[in-house]
Amino acid sequence: MKVLVTGSNGFIGSTLCDQLADADVGFVRAIRNPLPGAVAVGSINGETDWSEALQDVGAVVHLAARVHVLNENTLDSEAEFQKVNVDGTANLARQAAQAGVSRFIFISSIGVHGQNSGEVPFSADDLPAPHNQYSRSKQRAEQELKKVCDETEMESVVIRPPLVYGPGEGANFLRLMKWIDSGIPLPLGALKNLRSLVFAGNLCNLILKCLTHPAAAGETFLVSDDRDISTPELFRMMGSKMGKPARLFPVPQPMLCLAGGLLGRSRDITRLCGSLQLDISHTQKVLGWTPPFTLEAGVKKTVLDYLEEKKKGRISS
């Protein structure tokens, strides 16, 4: 079976392609602009031509998506999320079904369930409650994919991950490592939240499982490292692996939230302070799956990669 991977030059896509190669599974890289060894498809929208990329493909893993972009017009942003994440997914799904693809794996987001789980972890059968443009577009894309699969013989699998981290991640987790590396004292010592994370190696291992497992068809799966961690504990773990202990001091959470609002950083404070837990028991039961990497092992690999890239001058402090 040959697998089409969209977004293959991204952080998760690159990790997945490495795992596919290690498993001796044939795959096609789909990217926007021409590069050797990949199929260029241009911009992803409702008009993208996927015919070349879909030749002799038996399964699709759709990772490519529009993510959050700062400082943009709200109305234009909503239209762009619709064009790329919703129309683009529906178009690819229709063409994949017509090309005889048997299974379509869609990487969605835990944001479909909401921003904070509260005291009860999210489970796969919870009602959706998307909280922003991105997560709403992911939910609509899931719905469009289901329509296509209901009308054809193609099977769908939806995976909703939380924050994904690992070597090569260049966004949220990288920013956390830079904060610790800087030695700046951080007012997070009093937090008692719990958050689920997923190491890219674990997410991609689950994707490989879903490519062939018969029980995955038509399912929606949540995924994590199967260990929840507080923000202070995560910072201390990263600092320990970095050889630079995290400098945390306690500030009550209400004061943090107030300061975040005054500084226009409410979103960042919510991510750091709130609880976002995932119940992955359904995933484990249906697929007989266990994350191959522990949270501690994943954090260690990520930190060591950061230090190596920094040593080579590829990452600035």
- Active-site residue identified among 134, 165, 173, 199: 134
Strand stretches in 152-301, DSSP E: 155-160, 163-165, 197-199, 220-222
DSSP helix/strand/coil, 177: helix
Q: Are 51 and 40 in contact (CB under 8 A)?
A: no
CA 317 distance to own-chain centroid: 25
Which residues sit opposite 2 in a β-bridge? Answer: 26
Residue with the two structure tokens 């990669």:
305
**H or E segment at 12?**
helix 11-22
Known active-site residue 134: yes
Give phi and psi for 276, each to the nearest 5.
-140, 90
DSSP helix/strand/coil, 167: coil
- Nearest in space to 278 (alpha carbons), one of 152, 134, 131, 111: 111
Positions marked catalytic: 134
